[in-house]
Amino acid sequence: MSISRSAYLLPRLLFIHTSGQVLSRTRISRIMAMSASEGDVYVGTTERGLTQELQFPVPWGNIAGKAWGDPLGRPVLGLHGYLDNANTFDTLAPLLPKDLYFVSLDLSGHGHSSHFPLGMTYKYENYLMDVHRVVQGRFSFIVWLLVFLHQKLTLLLEQLQDMIMETVSNVIDRKDIKSYFVFMLILCSFSALAWKKFSFIAHSLGGSIAIMYSAVFPASVERLTLLDISGPFYHPLEGTVERLADSVHRKLHVEKTSQLPPHVYSREVALNKLLQGNEWVTRKSGAVLLERGTREVEGGLVYTRDLNLKNLGFFSLTPEQAEELVKGVKCPVLMLSATERLAPPEYDRERSQMFLPLFKANSSQFTELQIEGNHHVHLNNPERVAPHISAFFTPDTPTQPQTESKL
């Protein structure tokens, strides 16, 4: 049997028990989650199966993420909002179609992802690069190998290899199995997710990044789901000088503050502080975000997000640049807008009047729906959002109402 054929079959063979019995996905998930949770990596189990922690090496550290579903399923990338993290989709992911492989990222400076080096500034173009590195990026073998060893995945691979050799030795030659693992090591060392085409489910800031990526790399994006975001963030030309001066002062102030020892909070105080800054998040949802947005230290918890995120770039897009990006989105778009909007009504009205006609005119299909709830309705009440996303990912059952398609 060839290496390429082994590479196709063996991921499926991982779902065979040592007795040779094919297991249900629920039971597989429990077995894999139990074995994985013995380490120091958070692993959760949902209806859709194993929730797996992921890390992608980048020049300044790692971009972290978590995944639901079968890696051989339809690829979907989830991007969270400003100061949130990959857990923002924890309640929604189990309700999505079972054939999706859903990867939710922590953007740089958020959740479990590395912070930028001190002195660097978080910008939209940096996040665009984050996505591209994860989806199609290339990394050196040495960098990957160091991260790989650090995460103790060598031991895991040995265990998997032993398990497979014991269960399928009568089906596949042992040399082919060893060749497969060598092949996978080489493959992983040179690529990230290696998705040629994928879809987005993105909230707020993440939606702005997803729009940008969809415009810059239109051939790579199959579908775009936007959660409570009508277009890229922008500022008018007026006030550029004043905003730049303010950004410089705030940047220097935050740099000094970020070098101080972090505040340590009890879990209760940490959750209350998170809720004070996110009034649209329920207490239950806040606990979900807190789980990934903090780490345990002696005496309590510290927030993991980078304080430098308080100064998100010196310059923003102009309205004209934002319009050009929306014009560049060619894939089908589903826009789910909360009835209780985050921004002032006049600002929302201006953005909708600017962007919605452009989406309708340039995307192959555009659907805009109002969802009862606030800015975090996807986390607070995922059952209101999931049916529309599921329909969007099922071509035979289009979301209603729907605008006329250009196709």
- In whole angstroms, give the CA distance from residue 25 to residue 297: 36
Q: What is the pLDDT of residue 336?
A: 98
Q: Dump pLDDT digits (tens) for 163-179.
A: 655 554 454 454 444 44
Buried b (16+ CB within 10 A) or exposed e, 179-206: bbbebbeeebbeebbebeebbbbbbbbb
Hey, what are 388's tokens?
């529309």
* pLDDT value at 216 more than 60: yes
- Mean pLDDT score, 40-44: 36
* pLDDT averaged over every residue in the chain: 78
For a pLDDT cut of 90, what percent of the chain falls above it?
54
Distances (CA, A) of 25 to 11, 12, 92, 293, 386: 14, 12, 19, 29, 21
CA atoms 375, 376, 382, 383: torsion sign:
negative
Q: Which of 17-31, 123-137, 143-157, 329-343 has the lowest mean pLDDT?
A: 17-31
End-to-end CA distance of the chain: give it in Å, rounded: 43
Determine whether 273 is exposed, middle or buried from the number of CB atoms within 10 Å of its CB (0-12, 13-18, 19+): middle
Query: Above 70 in pLDDT, residue 330?
Result: yes
SS3 sequence of the chain: CCHHHHHHHHHHHCCECCCCCECCHHHHHHHHHHHHCCCCCCCEEECCEEEEEEEEEECCEEEEEEEECCCCCEEEEEECCCCCCHHHHCCCHHHCCCCEEEEEECCCCCCCCCCCCCCCCCCHHHHHHHHHHHHHCCCCHHHHHHHHHHCCHHHHHHHHHHHHHHHHCCCCCHHHHHHHHHHHHHHHHHCCCCCCCEEEEEECHHHHHHHHHHHHCHHHEEEEEEECCCCCCECCCCCHHHHHHHHHHHHHHHHHHHCCCCCCECHHHHHHHHHHHCCCCCHHHHHHHHHHHEEEECCEEEECCCHHHHCCCCCCECHHHHHHHHHCCCCCEEEEEECCCCCCHHHHHHHHHHHHHHHHHHCCCEEEEEECCCCCHHHHCHHHHHHHHHHHCCCCCCCCCCCCCCC
Question: Rounded CA gap, 188 and 184, in Å?
Answer: 6
* C-alpha count within 13 angstroms, C-beta hemisphere, residue 88: 29
- Tracing tokens 């201006």 back to the chain, one arrives at 350
pLDDT at 300: 95
Lowest mean pLDDT among 9-18, 314-323, 379-388: 9-18
Identify the residue with better confidence: 1 or 106: 106
**Band (183; pLDDT cuts 50, 70, 90):** very low
Structure confidence by residue, pLDDT tens digits, 260-299: 889 999 999 999 999 999 989 999 999 999 999 999 999 9
Provide the pLDDT for residue 43: 39
Residue 153 has pLDDT above 70, yes or no: no
pTM: 0.76
Beta-bridge partner residues of 136: none
Whether residue 354 is predicted with pLDDT greater than 80 in this model: the reply is: yes
CA dihedral of residues 322, 246, 272, 51 (deg, nearest 10) = 40
Per residue in 193-208, pLDDT (tens digit) is 999 999 999 999 999 9
Res. 135 pLDDT band, cuts 50 70 90 = very high
Higher pLDDT, 405 or 326: 326
Question: Residues 95-106: what's their mean pLDDT?
Answer: 95
Phi, psi for 255 (deg, rounded to 5): -60, -40
Q: Is 210 exposed, middle or buried (0-12, 13-18, 19+ CB in 10 A)?
A: buried
Predicted pLDDT at 347: 80
Q: Would you state the pLDDT for residue 321?
A: 95
- Give the pLDDT confidence of 217-233 residue by residue, as tens digits: 999 999 999 999 999 99
Instruction: Give the model's pLDDT for residue 348.
Output: 83
Between 184 and 345, the higher pLDDT residue? 345
